[in-house]
Structure 1
C-alpha cells in the first residue's frame, strides 16, 4: 500500500490537470471581446502636399479592419495609401495630400462578436494665395494720412448689391474700425428680403484725430423684379443724385426732381463702384444680369469696379474657426472665380470680407480683412480721379 501522502499528491495532480484542460477548452470555445475604441480618429487639417496620418486604438487585437472614404470602400493606391495594424493600433497613412484626399474617413473594426466604427473629416488646406497684413496699425494710419492727388476733397464709393447681403453693415463695420468701438448707424437688412435703405445717404468717417478722405454712399438693395432701378444707380454714379433722395422702385429720378443735380462735378460723381454679394450664395443669385448692366455703365465712364464678398464665415467652416484662413479656403477661392466669371470683374478686384454681426467687441482680424480691401480700392479710386482731371474729360451723360 502506498503512503497516504503520495495518494494525496496524485489526486491533487489529477485534479489540477483536469481543471486546466477544462479552462483551455472553455477559452477555445468562447467568443472574442466585442470591438470597441479606446481612442478614436481625430479630425485633421493638413496643407496640400503633407502626409495624412489617421490612427486609433481598439480594445482587442482580435479584429478585422476596413476603411471607407465618403461612405465608399477606400481603394488603396500603391505608394499613396498604407494601412497598418500593430497590436491594437490601427493606422492609415496617405502620402502627399491632394485636394481629392479631402473627405470623411471611417474605420470599422469587426469580429464574430460584432463591429464598431468611428469617423473623422480630413480637410486639405491649399497654400495661401493672397496675403493679408493681420495687424491694423499701418493700414489704418495709411488711410488716415492718404492724400488725394487733385482738387477732389474726398473719394466717393457707391455700394450696390442685393437686399440683405451686408451693404449697410459694411458701413457699420468701417465706422467700427475707425472709431475703435462697435458702431451701428445704418439699419442692416441681413437675411431680409426688404431693403432698410430707402433714401440716398452718404456716410463719412472720423476718429479723434480727424476725418478720413473718403465717403460711402448707400442705396436701396437690388432685387430681381423690384428694388432700386438701374437708371437710379446710373444717376448716382454720374453725380446727378443728391443726398436725401427717396427711392421709388417704379419711377426713376427725373431731371424735374429737386434732388436731381443737373451739372455734377467730379466731386459729385462716384469714383469707385463697390458691388456687394454674399460669399455663400454666389451661385444662386438670380439678378446677375441687372448687376452686369450697372457694371457696364460704370465701365463706359471708366469708373473702377470691385466686389466685396460678405458672409465668408457662412461660406466655409474653416473660416468660421479662424478668419485668417480666408485665403487658404478652396470654397472661397472657387466662389471668387465664379463671381469673376459671372460679373466680368478680375479676381484681383474681388475681396472677401466679414462684417460685424455676432461680435460684441472689436475684432482685429475682421478689421484687417476690411482694411486690406479699403487700402486697395482707395488707390484705384484715386487713380480714376487723377486720370479724369489730367485729361479734363467731361462727365458722361
Structure 2
C-alpha cells in the first residue's frame, strides 16, 4: 500500500489592505466649480472686517506654499506670490510678518480675506510665541521683521497700538508636514500659541501637508486620502498631541512640482479654504 497522499497547503492569506473599505470623511471630488463660485461670492457678515488668517507651524511645513496653492486655485493658474524655499533647512525662510491679498476679477479688487505668513517655529530660535500672541490681537504691523532674541513691544516701529477689526486675527491655522516628527520644544510652542488663541476665543484649524508622500496609496491616487489607514492614524496622533479635534484637521497637498492645475488637488484646497473662511467669518461677526 502506498503512503497516504498529503493535502496541498492552503494558499497564503492576502495581506490586509492599507485602505479602508469606505472613506472616513466625505468630500466631493470634481465639484470644484461650485466650490470656487462659493468663494468668489463670499462676503463677510461683519461688513467692516477683512477675514485675517494667521498661519503658523514648524519650519518647512509649507505655510508659504499653502498661500501660493490657494492663490493658484482662486486665480485658476499657477502663481508664486509667497516666496517659498525649495530646500530643506532647519531655519525659517520667512523673516517678516507679511499680509497676502488675493486678486479678484476686476482691477483693484481683492478677496475679502487675507493670509499672514509668519516665521517658522524652530528649536531654540525662530519666531517667539509672544510675537504670535501680539499678532493674534492685531498689534503687529505688516512688514515687521521678527527678532528671535526679543519680542515686539509697545513703542517699537512695528507695533500697532490701535488695531482695527481687520487687523486682528480671525482664524488660526497650524500647518504641519505629516511626514515629520514634532520636536518637544516646538510642540510646546505650538501648545502655547493654541492656548493664547483659545483665551481670545479665536477658532483654530490644522492642515497636514505633503500627504501625497505619506503613503503609496495617496501617492498613486490622491482620492485615497480619506481611505488611507496610515493617514487616518497620523491625523489621530496629531490631534492627540496638539489637542485639535479631528474634524478641524484637514489633510492637503500643496502645489509643488506641478506646472498645471489638478482638479483633485484643487478639491482638497477648496475644501480647506471653505472651512477656514467660514470659521474666521463667524468669529469676526462677534467682534
- Quote how far apart the aligned CAs of 1:92 are: 5.0
| 1:128 and 2:128 correspond | no
CA contact (8 A) 2:96 2:118 kept: yes
- 2:34 and 2:241 map into 1 onto residues whose CA distance is 34
Rate the CA distance shift 1:240–1:323 in 2: closer, same or farther, 3 A: same
- 2:243 and 2:80 map into 1 onto residues whose CA distance is 33
Larger C-alpha radius of gyration, 1 or 2?
1
Does the residue aligned with 2:103 lie in a helix, a strand or coil? strand
- Quote how far apart the aligned CAs of 1:187 are: 2.1
- 1:333 and 1:326 map into 2 onto residues whose CA distance is 8
Q: Which residue of 2 aligns with 1:181?
A: 77
CA contact (8 A) 1:144 1:211 kept: no
Count the aligned residue pairs: 276
Rate the CA distance shift 1:341–1:195 in 2: closer, same or farther, 3 A: same
Q: Which residue of 2 aligns with 1:55?
A: none
1:203 is matched with which residue: 100, 122, 135?
A: 100
- 1:204 and 1:266 map into 2 onto residues whose CA distance is 17
Q: Which residue of 2 aligns with 1:369?
A: 268
2:34 is matched with which residue: 113, 130, 138?
A: 138
TM-score by length of 1: 0.67
Could you list the runs of 5+ residues in structure 1 that have no partner in the other structure?
1-63, 67-82, 84-90, 95-100, 103-121, 389-397
Q: Which residue of 2 aligns with 1:44?
A: none
String of CA shifts for 1:155-192, please: whole Å, max 9, x gaps.
00000001111000001101111111111122223532
CA contact (8 A) 1:144 1:213 kept: no
String of CA shifts for 1:334-369, please: whole Å, max 9, x gaps.
111111111111110000010011111111111110
- Quote how far apart the aligned CAs of 1:317 are: 1.3
Does the residue aligned with 2:91 lie in a helix, a strand or coil? coil
Say which structure, 1 or 2, has more relative contact order (CA 8 Å, 6+ apart).
2
| 1:328 and 2:227 correspond | yes
| 1:343 and 2:222 correspond | no
Could you list the runs of 5+ residues in structure 2 that have no partner in the other structure?
1-6
Q: Which residue of 2 aligns with 1:109?
A: none
CA contact (8 A) 1:163 1:189 kept: no
1:261 is matched with which residue: 112, 135, 160?
A: 160
- 1:387 and 1:152 map into 2 onto residues whose CA distance is 12
- 1:216 and 1:255 map into 2 onto residues whose CA distance is 24
| 1:165 and 2:64 correspond | no
Q: Which residue of 2 aligns with 1:252?
A: 151
Q: Which residue of 1 aligns with 2:280?
A: 381
Rate the CA distance shift 1:152–1:316 in 2: closer, same or farther, 3 A: farther
Rate the CA distance shift 1:345–1:123 in 2: closer, same or farther, 3 A: closer
- 1:256 and 1:284 map into 2 onto residues whose CA distance is 35
CA contact (8 A) 2:70 2:273 kept: no
Give RMSD over aligned pairs.
Answer: 1.7
Does the residue aligned with 1:125 lie in a helix, a strand or coil? coil
Q: Which residue of 2 aligns with 1:292?
A: 191
String of CA shifts for 1:191-235, please: whole Å, max 9, x gaps.
322211111100011243542210000111111211000011011
Map 1:1-397; keep pairs closer than 5 Å: 83=10, 101-102=15-16, 122-134=17-29, 135-189=31-85, 191-209=88-106, 210-281=109-180, 283-286=181-184, 287-388=186-287
Rate the CA distance shift 1:284–1:292 in 2: closer, same or farther, 3 A: closer
CA contact (8 A) 1:224 1:290 kept: no
Does the residue aligned with 2:42 lie in a helix, a strand or coil? coil
